[in-house]
């Protein structure tokens, strides 16, 4: 299993890349859902305070995108 901090850093970087205008809305939505599910599963298997903060930030990013 990947270290929680490394995994969450990678997930955060991927989520940031998905916000680029060149990424189609369908792909952005699909990949974001998959990444958030992986973060949820990884956080459940390896919970840390840092993991919860990153998961929360990822979810907030999703909410911001939905309201734009």
Number of domains into which the chain is organized: 1
Is there a domain that residue 24 lies in?
A: yes
Q: Please give the DSSP secondary-structure letter assigned to residue 24.
A: -
Classify 37 as helix, strand or coil.
helix
Tokens of 63: 């909410």
Is there a domain that residue 37 lies in?
A: yes
Residue 39: domain span: 1-7+17-43
Mean pLDDT per segment of 10 residues, for the chain of length 68 residues?
72 83 82 81 64 64 50
pTM exceeding 0.85: no
Is there a domain that residue 59 lies in?
A: no
Q: Is the distance from CB of 4 to CB of 46 less than 8 angstroms?
A: yes
Is there a domain that residue 65 lies in?
A: no
């Amino acid at each position: 299993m990947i270290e929680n901090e490394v995994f969450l850093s990678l997930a955060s970087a991927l989520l940031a890349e998905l916000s680029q205008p060149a990424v189609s809305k369908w792909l952005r939505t699909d990949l974001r859902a998959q990444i958030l599910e992986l973060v949820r599963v990884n956080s459940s298997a390896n919970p840390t305070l840092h993991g919860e903060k990153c998961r929360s930030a990822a979810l907030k990013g999703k909410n911001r995108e939905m309201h734009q």
